[in-house]
Structures are given as C-alpha cells and as structure tokens.
C-alpha cells in the first residue's frame, strides 16, 4: 500500500508484509471495504494492494493488483504487477471498479490529484477509496532517539475528510460515504503532554526512522505513565465519537 519509493525501500527490509491482518479493526475494515464494491462488478483492480488482504478476498473472478513493493506482491494470489499509481499499465476504462485502500495518505499531497486522475482513467463504473478518517498525526508518531525527528509511524502525509475525497474525484453521478470502526478522540493537551513532556510515544513492530534509517526504538506502551495518560483520556472521552477509517464509492 506504499507509493513513495523511499518508504518501500525501508519496509522491504522488514517482515511487515508477512504479517497477517487478524486484528478485529482490520477485519472490519476489510469487510466494510469489500462491501462497497457493487455486487455486479465483473472486473476489479486494486491499486496499492500490498500483500493482497483485499483483492485476495474479493469474490469476483477477474481481479488484479498493483503495488510498488515487490516483496508484498509475493502474497497476492491474483494476477499482480509492480506498478506506480501514477502510471498504471492498463487501458482507459479497463476495469468496472478500481479499489485504492489505505494508499492515498502515503502520497505527497501535491501529487494526489495526479494519482486520482490515473485511478479514474482506468475505472469504467466506480472507484472505491479508503483512508484514515481525519487522522491526528501526533497520535501515530514517534520521535527518533538517534536524530530527534518526529515522524508518522506509517508514513502518512495527509489527513482526509469526506469533502477532500469527493474533490479528488469530481463529476461522479453519486458518492457513497461511510465511516467505520469508532474510536475515542484524544485530548490534544494530553497527547502533547504524553509525547512532548513525558517523551512517551506510540510504537509499532516495524518502526524505522525515515530520516536516518534507525530501527532501534523503545516500546513505551507498557509503561505506567503511558497507560495512565491513556486511562485519563478515556475518562475525559468515554464515548467513541471518532472513526478510524473513511470510505467512499464514487460512481460515474
């Protein structure tokens, strides 16, 4: 699901693509995404398919995937190609539906319209797009202990609301928007206190600094103060009023 070549080079050296996505949130995201594909679609392309968690599960017969991460493509059971989102190797309108999930947020913001035009070019009937919903970058960031840079753990560069997705795909005859997986909001002050004052950051198994390539990071999530700040935030925000993912189907 990566497009930036430097990100691909970093992650190709890890076993991130070998990990199965069995967390309840991931399974729900996969289910909800595939449910947005119309049942009468006969051909589908997934752009940025990664290890094939979506395209492998689609029930239709004619499905293809593309991604720049060649190591990830080894896990795809459908025909798959190493290709950039900006130069898809297919004719105009080659597929009934084009799916692009958890990919656009990795791109340089200035190139998003270019990527959207290429997705739209090969889609005959509809495009299905999913991205993180109005993401708070600080929540998913870490400070490198070697170079001091703060970076997003998954390389995200842009946060999206529904209108942002619609603007990327103008002229559709219908837009279907939905959110999935409710989560609690973070108090901005608490999040700044935990990261800036306490120096306690979120952790992932494959953390790697994009600035200096350091991959040695302490996991703070088991520490008492990390948990205490999280518990206080839960008290302040008992209801899950935000969502993890934003999904859109644009029909043309």
The predicted model scores a pTM of 0.91
Has residue 14 got a pLDDT over 60?
A: no
**Closest C-alpha to 33, from 223, 226, 245:** 245
Q: Which residue has the higher pLDDT, 228 or 21?
A: 228
- Least confident span in 5-9, 143-147, 200-204, 211-215: 5-9
Res. 1: pLDDT tops 90: no
| Parallel, antiparallel or unpaired: strands 150-152 and 141-143 | antiparallel
CB contact at 8 A, 247 and 34: no
Nearest of 148, 132, 134, 158 to residue 196 by alpha carbon: 148
If residue 100 lies in a helix (H) or strand (E), which one and from where to where?
strand 95-101
pLDDT digits (tens, 9 = 90+) for 46-77: 999 999 999 999 999 999 999 999 999 999 99
The Cα-based distances of 71 to 39, 75, 79, 156, 167 in angstroms read: 30, 8, 14, 20, 33
Handedness of CA 179, 182, 186, 191 (dihedral sign): negative
pLDDT on residue 22: 79
Length of the chain in terms of residues written: 252
pLDDT of residue 58: 98
Please check whether residue 125 is in contact with residue 41, taking contact to mean a CB–CB distance below 8 angstroms. yes
pLDDT in tens, 183-231: 999 999 999 999 999 999 999 988 999 999 999 999 999 999 999 999 9
Q: How far is CA 162 from CA 99, 114, 138, 201, 245, in A?
A: 17, 19, 21, 28, 11
In 3D space, the residue among 211, 203, 105, 225 whose CA is nearest the CA of residue 156 turns out to be 105
pLDDT at position 38 is: 98
Which residue ranges form the domains of the chain, and what is each CATH number? 5-184+241-251 (3.40.50.150)
Report whether pLDDT(21) > 80.
no
Q: For 12, how many CA atoms within 13 A lie in the half-sphere containing its CB?
A: 15
């Amino acid at each position: 699901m990566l497009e930036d070549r430097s990100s691909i080079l970093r992650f190709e050296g890890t076993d991130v693509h070998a990990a199965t996505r069995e967390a309840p949130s991931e399974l729900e995201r996969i289910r909800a995404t595939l449910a947005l594909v119309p049942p009468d679609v006969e051909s589908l392309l997934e752009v940025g398919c990664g290890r094939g968690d979506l395209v492998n599960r689609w029930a239709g017969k004619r499905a293809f995937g593309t991604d720049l991460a060649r190591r990830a493509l080894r896990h795809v059971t459908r025909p798959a190609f190493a290709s950039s989102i900006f130069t898809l190797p297919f004719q105009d309108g080659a597929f009934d539906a084009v799916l692009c999930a958890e990919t656009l947020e990795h791109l340089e913001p200035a190139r998003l319209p270019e990527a959207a035009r290429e997705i739209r070019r090969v889609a005959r009937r509809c495009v299905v797009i999913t991205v993180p919903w109005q993401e708070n970058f600080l929540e998913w960031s870490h400070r490198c202990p070697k170079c001091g840079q703060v970076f997003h753990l998954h390389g995200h560069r842009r946060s999206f609301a529904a209108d942002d997705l619609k603007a990327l795909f103008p002229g559709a005859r219908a837009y279907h928007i939905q959110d999935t997986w409710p989560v609690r909001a973070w108090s901005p002050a608490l999040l700044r206190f935990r990261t800036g004052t306490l120096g306690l950051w979120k952790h992932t198994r494959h953390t790697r600094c994009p600035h200096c390539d350091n991959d040695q990071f302490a996991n703070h999530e088991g520490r008492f103060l990390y948990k205490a700040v999280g518990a206080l935030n839960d008290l302040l925000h008992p209801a899950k009023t935000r969502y993890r993912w934003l999904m859109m189907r644009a029909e043309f």
